[in-house]
Structure 1
């Protein structure tokens, strides 16, 4: 068979070559020993016969690649192709330097497989109506041939005793793994026989023949479902079909459940059937589908899903409720509740109601809220309800005040990433606990991220999930009894993964004398990397000496006392069980020596006061006024004028005083006769009465007995209130107060020996000098009170009264 094929190929090539030689267009003729279509994996030869004597060569593929050909004879060369795996192109060329230049010749080789027999041939009879239907047959093509295939479905029908002739039906040419063909049959056909013929350029194959009885492969069309009508527990499904069937199956499910089959209600041949679906849950979105079947044959395909909600009912169960108290606000209580499952909610939650029993307060809370803070009352009860359109849930009660009970024993924490197990021993008490509650939360964030789980009285452990790595958790195990008694055991330092903190705390300082108060805040949660076990403060003075101080993790302040004066630097670190963080930002502060500074300040102030006093003392007017001021301050040590030498001399003449006259000049002779003045002793008066409103001052010059040898002496004792009557004129009531420029105060003015002009000039000069030196003194002269003299003067009545001095100043 192969020899005949090769002979035929050679004859064909020779004929083509003869034609080309006659025409003179090609330089050669090319052919394959197995023809242009070969099976993949086969080996064959490609020949080229030339009609020229020039250089001959053979090429393969694109771009053309030279091949090592073999010389077959003087005009023919060939190339041996081994185990071909894809389509290839071959060409031959004769290169001559002289005309005529001939074109090369080429050959395309297609490599593929012969077709497989059709596998898994099966047919379905879809009943369109009571008169006809469509038979659909499908099969597997087999492996890919890489060649163009043609397939034909052959069918022979049998109607009663009549056997029809085979009919062929073309198959879709789509290159898929499966192929199909369909044809129409009447209701009179009882059986069919089918087979598949497949061909390509390499081979033609025929499948086995399969016989079908149509009633065994009969299938109704897909049912059509109408929108269900639902109550809270049941939905009624309306199904429509083109042909009556004996069986109808309806299935339903929620979004996360498996399909559940509704029980078949029996044989119904009507085109429209109504089926109730019961045992549903309230407020659920259900999906429905249906299929039908004749008494024999196949089930139809499932219908398109339709969906509907069942109606609501009041919530079936109380909420899972817990509570927490704020450390900063002892008068409020925060109540928490978990998301309610749809099976318990039985409807869309409109809001939550929080009721404080003893106070009668009700709070309507948004449906999105999961906690609420209420005023805290002693011995009060808080009740929480969930509400939907149909009503309220059963009450979930929390008693805020519990009696003490025996706590759970031996609380242990077992870490196994990513979860943590909290276990405990049951209290050794007679009554069985009603429930356990295990709460946990990130360190310092109880109110914001509180989580809990409620367990039965027989449980002794809880697995807490959702513990994030590199975070520190704390919590407690509560044991609850039916008599409203409760107790708890706390646990801390819970984590699943931990490392060294990434930074140290930020520090603030406040210096107070020789002490400094250091404050810091918690590290941000992202920098802690676990549970902080302690803080370390590093304090370094200006000489480079450093000391470290450990502080508990719960502290946020530390005070250093008794620090010596120096410049200090301070920084902090935080530590976990894995190690110490890098040092935080360094701050500097100064401790000053306050005692030396205070001494310097005091000395400076005293120095300024002394300088001011020295400057003031350079003025005679200031000296005079300060002398009066100091006399007023020393009331208890003023000497008694009655015991003075001057007083004893004056008492030799009863009721008479020998007073030397005040002269205009600075000297007086011994021969001058003294002027005798009648002195009347006045009773003591208050400062309000004795102080005249019009004050005139008279500066008396100093007198001396001798201008050459004796210094000036005081003429009169110091006094304030003396009423003087001239012995020349008894009617004169002129009152004067005289101040000497040498701070000697005169009490009695001479009659007619002082010139008024000179007196006013001296007074104005003293006042101007005093005003320049001491500008803060009053503008009027508070020391120049007039002397009042009257009657007989007794020295026992002479008394210094400083009341007017303080009144005027």
Structure 2
């Protein structure tokens, strides 16, 4: 059969070519054994017949293909398993030879139509429209044609079938509509689908209009007018209906709630009241209708409206925590949800009242805490306010007595969550409160939840993965009897820290002090358990030091001189993270003398100086240097107090020995009187030269010092220690200069007088810079002036 079809095709092609040649048309003819549209995956041949003696080639989509020869004027190409649309052509090498070709499309035959259904829409009371839909199946990649066939029955009269053509190449769901009168009792529908590869029909479906008919058009809803708990909606319908269904839901809900589903003879327009709504909610409304029989209409378009506000009816959830400075506390409250608070919160009011504290403040609506001074016996009250008024007050007290602590409070992690459990106390509590927060961030991110007294286990919510948490469980036996049991360092999920701490070093001698800051929360990966310090010297000797996570400083001592490299890493339950940035420091050689050696040298120097001070020559030198340094305090002898008193009492002066047991013996306590004569020149301003023998002074021991205030010129007429008629005057202790006698005078003093005065101490003996005094020459006012030039010359 195929061979016969092929033979006839060739014959026809030759005839066509002969005719074309006769009339002077193209010299090339191209055709396919399967036609222009073929089924996907099929195989066939394409032929090219020509009358030119030039060389001819065959192409597939501009690509040369190896062809076969049928005869001297015809060539062909075998096509196997075609998968898409192809273009085949035949080209001649001669300039006068024409080319020819053919586009071949590949696809599928049409599927049988499925899910055929029809509905009846009544537009007016006398007529309506039937709309039928069906699914045409898979895409055939070819041009398809669907035909809806309808047969109607009115009483004893049958009409049809009436054909309704639908053409589509892409969509799966097709539809067609037609008008019918209300006199039609029965309709029969079926669908025929066809393309170039075949034709199929669906099964016939029979409907009565009572089954599908009398569906009214969808209602139209007007904008609702709402109070706080009720909305009034205007519904419009083009025909008289017997049933109306109105549904509503707020924006948080997924399911619709049905308000009304039956009415009687609703006219074209009517208002409906929807009650039992909540204040300050955004509600969505929709409606549909139907006649006494038949189908419901389509849902109307959704309309939305807010109900009005009411004063909040629910109290806030309030908690407090002491601040880290121990001088203040922070009051917390949870956000007043606008659905619970019956309106938009405008502000919060906080009142703290105690023995020594009274605070009243209004806080912005976007704030959830407020700080006040620490108060141990205060009453804290918080309100929320919207445009309609204040919420009920929430009052807590800071005055608390300690209840028994919970036992076995455990915090465990697993399945990306944290579970807190505890053993119930012996005394039945009234309530539990669980608080939690990221480690070190209590004041900023405190969370809490109140739990029923019968609960002994709960799962934390509002937590982040790879975050370390801590918190506590509170047991309330009454409003003021509370205990707190804490838990620390638990994470829902942990990963290895992704960085090391930032380190700073301080080198002192042969030790180094390391300080670091905690890793940022995003780099910890959970709860840090410890830090590891890597210390490497220039000899590549590596030492490790482990430090607890609670520390932030560490000291390494007794380091030998070298160049050191230091790094630091952090670890948690998941593992050890990478080391941080490397730092370099130096330990240098200690060139200073040891402290003990310095102390020994200093002690030797002090001992050596003390030995030097025992020499009279060195003491004299030190005294002379000291006097040179005090040049500016040497007074003028002529203006001294002693000189002025001598002018008043001419000829006599009382010299009195120093009193006290430290300078005189008991034998010499009685006053010794000495007669003196003072000679003056004719001028009263200047004293005369001494012409008589001066009073001999007793020889002084090395320990005896000159009394620093004896400053007069005296002459002795006689010196009898026992029977002198003259009285010995006491020394004036306010005079600035010391009198002196020459060495010759001192030689004339007899032995008795020397022995008598041997034990008298006129001057203090504690000055180590003055040795035995030597007297020479006569003492004048000019002579007592100190001149240091001689000292430096002799030195």
TM-score between both structures, scaled by the size of structure 2 = 0.72
Specify the alignment match of 1:264 in structure 2: 261
Give the direction of change, closer, same or farther, for the CA distance of 1:622–1:768 in structure 2 (3 Å limit). closer
- Decide which moves more: 85-94 or 517-526: 517-526
- Whole-angstrom distance in 2 between the partners of 1:259 and 1:203: 47
Local SS of the residue matching 1:13: helix
Displacement after TM superposition at 1:437 (Å): 1.6
- Whole-angstrom distance in 2 between the partners of 1:651 and 1:682: 6
Matched, 1:226 2:260: no
Matched, 1:148 2:147: no
Preserved contact between residue 352 and residue 384 of structure 1 (Cα < 8 Å): yes
Which of 98, 102, 106 lines up with 1:107 in the alignment?
A: 102
Deviations 1:491-549 (A, max 9, x none): 223223446664357456697x9999886654544555444455688999999999998
Specify the alignment match of 1:51 in structure 2: 51
Give the direction of change, closer, same or farther, for the CA distance of 1:44–1:381 in structure 2 (3 Å limit). same
Specify the alignment match of 1:87 in structure 2: 85
Specify the alignment match of 1:670 in structure 2: none
Specify the alignment match of 1:239 in structure 2: 235
Give the direction of change, closer, same or farther, for the CA distance of 1:5–1:675 in structure 2 (3 Å limit). closer
- Whole-angstrom distance in 2 between the partners of 1:409 and 1:154: 82
Specify the alignment match of 2:341 in structure 1: 345
Specify the alignment match of 1:796 in structure 2: none
Specify the alignment match of 1:804 in structure 2: none
Displacement after TM superposition at 1:290 (Å): 0.9
Displacement after TM superposition at 1:226 (Å): 1.3
Give the direction of change, closer, same or farther, for the CA distance of 1:233–1:605 in structure 2 (3 Å limit). farther
Deviations 1:214-262 (A, max 9, x none): 4533322221111212222222221112222111111111223111111
Which of 346, 365, 375 lines up with 2:363 in the alignment?
A: 365
- Whole-angstrom distance in 2 between the partners of 1:743 and 1:623: 21
Local SS of the residue matching 1:171: strand
- Decide which moves more: 169-178 or 281-290: 169-178
Which of 278, 300, 303 lines up with 1:303 in the alignment?
A: 300
- Whole-angstrom distance in 1 between the partners of 2:627 and 2:10: 158
Matched, 1:122 2:117: yes
Preserved contact between residue 571 and residue 587 of structure 1 (Cα < 8 Å): no
Deviations 1:696-725 (A, max 9, x none): x9999998999xxxxxxxxxx99999xxxx
Q: How many residues align?
A: 698
Displacement after TM superposition at 1:603 (Å): 8.3
Displacement after TM superposition at 1:424 (Å): 1.3
Deviations 1:550-573 (A, max 9, x none): 776545567899x89999989987
Displacement after TM superposition at 1:467 (Å): 4.2
Give the direction of change, closer, same or farther, for the CA distance of 1:560–1:12 in structure 2 (3 Å limit). closer
Matched, 1:399 2:397: yes
Give the direction of change, closer, same or farther, for the CA distance of 1:449–1:40 in structure 2 (3 Å limit). closer
Specify the alignment match of 2:309 in structure 1: 312
Preserved contact between residue 113 and residue 201 of structure 2 (Cα < 8 Å): yes
- Whole-angstrom distance in 1 between the partners of 2:236 and 2:431: 55
Give the direction of change, closer, same or farther, for the CA distance of 1:110–1:478 in structure 2 (3 Å limit). closer
Counterparts of residues 134-283 of structure 1 (less than 5 Å): 134-158=129-153, 163-164=158-159, 167-171=162-166, 173=168, 175-186=170-181, 189=184, 191-205=186-200, 207-215=202-210, 216-257=212-253, 258-283=255-280
Specify the alignment match of 1:22 in structure 2: 22
Deviations 1:280-336 (A, max 9, x none): 22221111111111222222211111111222233333322222123431x422222
- Whole-angstrom distance in 1 between the partners of 2:560 and 2:732: 60
Specify the alignment match of 1:66 in structure 2: 65
Give the direction of change, closer, same or farther, for the CA distance of 1:337–1:143 in structure 2 (3 Å limit). same
Preserved contact between residue 621 and residue 767 of structure 1 (Cα < 8 Å): no
Preserved contact between residue 244 and residue 287 of structure 2 (Cα < 8 Å): yes
Give the direction of change, closer, same or farther, for the CA distance of 1:567–1:480 in structure 2 (3 Å limit). farther
Preserved contact between residue 143 and residue 168 of structure 2 (Cα < 8 Å): no
Preserved contact between residue 283 and residue 310 of structure 1 (Cα < 8 Å): yes
Matched, 1:481 2:477: yes
- Whole-angstrom distance in 2 between the partners of 1:86 and 1:548: 70
- Whole-angstrom distance in 2 between the partners of 1:541 and 1:682: 89
Local SS of the residue matching 2:14: helix
Local SS of the residue matching 1:423: strand
Local SS of the residue matching 2:436: strand
Which of 448, 456, 463 lines up with 2:459 in the alignment?
A: 463
Preserved contact between residue 657 and residue 677 of structure 1 (Cα < 8 Å): no
Preserved contact between residue 380 and residue 396 of structure 2 (Cα < 8 Å): yes
Displacement after TM superposition at 1:371 (Å): 1.9
Give the direction of change, closer, same or farther, for the CA distance of 1:117–1:528 in structure 2 (3 Å limit). closer
Give the direction of change, closer, same or farther, for the CA distance of 1:576–1:597 in structure 2 (3 Å limit). farther
TM-score between both structures, scaled by the size of structure 1 = 0.70
- Whole-angstrom distance in 1 between the partners of 2:603 and 2:307: 93
Local SS of the residue matching 1:133: strand
- Decide which moves more: 293-302 or 131-140: 131-140
Give the direction of change, closer, same or farther, for the CA distance of 1:401–1:556 in structure 2 (3 Å limit). farther
What runs of 5+ residues in structure 1 fail to find an aligned partner?
Answer: 662-673, 707-716, 722-741, 774-809
Give the direction of change, closer, same or farther, for the CA distance of 1:161–1:547 in structure 2 (3 Å limit). closer
Local SS of the residue matching 2:21: helix
- Whole-angstrom distance in 1 between the partners of 2:207 and 2:38: 38
- Whole-angstrom distance in 1 between the partners of 2:626 and 2:416: 97
- Whole-angstrom distance in 2 between the partners of 1:497 and 1:625: 87
Specify the alignment match of 1:659 in structure 2: 693
Specify the alignment match of 1:424 in structure 2: 422
Displacement after TM superposition at 1:367 (Å): 1.7
- Whole-angstrom distance in 2 between the partners of 1:546 and 1:597: 36
Preserved contact between residue 119 and residue 140 of structure 1 (Cα < 8 Å): yes
What runs of 5+ residues in structure 2 fail to find an aligned partner?
Answer: 636-656, 680-689, 696-713, 720-725, 748-757, 764-771
Preserved contact between residue 719 and residue 747 of structure 1 (Cα < 8 Å): no
Local SS of the residue matching 1:444: coil
- Whole-angstrom distance in 2 between the partners of 1:86 and 1:326: 76
Deviations 1:172-216 (A, max 9, x none): 546321222334445555554444454434445555554444453
Displacement after TM superposition at 1:685 (Å): 8.3
- Whole-angstrom distance in 1 between the partners of 2:108 and 2:629: 141
Deviations 1:635-654 (A, max 9, x none): 998899x99xxx99x9899x
Displacement after TM superposition at 1:433 (Å): 0.9
Give the direction of change, closer, same or farther, for the CA distance of 1:698–1:380 in structure 2 (3 Å limit). closer
- Whole-angstrom distance in 2 between the partners of 1:442 and 1:518: 26
- Whole-angstrom distance in 1 between the partners of 2:134 and 2:542: 89
Preserved contact between residue 121 and residue 130 of structure 2 (Cα < 8 Å): yes
Preserved contact between residue 699 and residue 763 of structure 1 (Cα < 8 Å): no
Preserved contact between residue 243 and residue 263 of structure 2 (Cα < 8 Å): yes
Give the direction of change, closer, same or farther, for the CA distance of 1:472–1:122 in structure 2 (3 Å limit). closer
